[in-house]
Chains A and B, each alone.
Chain A
Amino acid sequence: MHDFTPFSGLAGGALIGLAAALLMLLTGRIAGVTGIVGGLLQADTADRSWRVAFIAGLIAAPLIAALSGAPLPRPSMNASLVVITIAGVLVGFGTRMGNGCTSGHGVCGFARLSGRSIAATIIFMLAAIATVAIARHGLGG
């Protein structure tokens, strides 16, 4: 095990689940980041304001944490900018094509016991595990 932090993981996860539960109970919406952002980028979307508000909340979270002394997130990424660009395009294109990402399918879909979302989550997990295995260890291929 490497940097295993089950308690902060559970606590942070519970907050993610709380946010998804509250968004449904208060506004009737699924907390899927892909759907929320992707809808904003679509010409025929009428309901833009709540999407902007949710995204503003996401970006404001580390800024508010910074007020209490936490550092702003500057994650270390080992991949080159070319690989990061390819990864970004694949993530954006793939999540829109598959109608969801880790939040919409992984959290909200599992919580609804949606077979479609559970299938999507298993598939993107396996694809990601295979990608890391090949990139780091040259396995499979």
Chain B
Amino acid sequence: MALLASFVCGLIFGAGLLISGMTDPQKVLGFLDLFGAWDATLAFVMAGAVAVAATGFAIARRRAAPAFSARFLWPDRNDIDAPLVAGAVLFGIGWGLAGICPGPALVNLAGLSLPIVVFVVAMLAGMIGQNLFGKNLWRRDAVAPRSIDTTSLPSRADG
């Protein structure tokens, strides 16, 4: 059931990206282009998404456990550290260059257009590169325990 739930959630998420227009890089760039013909749509997408997600999360906070698994895995970090800031800057530059972020990239993969396939392969390579070498760039992260079974711990990642 948890697998079916994950699939359906992915499906709804993808439908939302398609309906909102966020799978169109030109529309995303239109929002990011404050000094051109600005398109405010992305702000409405964010407002709708955050309002509904916040309502759902508030309901979840009052429950003991999710329907199909043992417990809620809320992100447990609150610190604003150097990797967060540097990672956000690098992501922002890439997002601004292409107009595509990870969710819309995967939804667009179904169309098998060359630029999207190239983008997704490069994105996966970047993720693997960070997984392999990123820890070495920040000494404080190098002490994070890696031998503990991560399925029993809250997710260290935010999203």
Using a CB–CB distance below 8 Å, which chain B residues touch chain A?
2-27, 29-30, 32-57, 59-60, 63, 65-75, 77-80, 83-103, 105-116, 118-131, 134, 137, 146, 149-151, 155-159
Contacts and interface: CB of A to CB of B under 8 A. Distances in A.
Give 8 closest A-B pairs by Cβ, nearest first. Answer: A104-B159, A32-B159, A21-B56, A57-B10, A98-B87, A12-B20, A127-B92, A92-B126
Contact of A116 (B49, B54, B78, B96): B78
For A110, A115, A120, which residue has the most chain B Cβ atoms within 10 angstroms? A120
A73 B107 contact: yes
Contacts, number: 559
Contacts of A98: 83-88, 90-91
Interface string A78-116: 110101111111111111111111111111111110111
- Interface residue range, chain A: 35 or more
Given A9-B42, A38-B157, A89-B126, 7 more contacts: A19-B10, A22-B5, A66-B110, A79-B98, A88-B119, A92-B128, A103-B102
B68 to A, nearest CB: 5
A73 B18 contact: yes
Contacts of B15: 12, 15, 61, 65
Contact of A132 (B27, B32, B53, B90): B32
A30 B74 contact: yes
B96 A131 contact: yes
Contact of A124 (B71, B88, B105): B88
Contact of A84 (B84, B87, B98): B98
B92 A35 contact: no
A97 B141 CA distance: 11
A92 B95 CA distance: 10
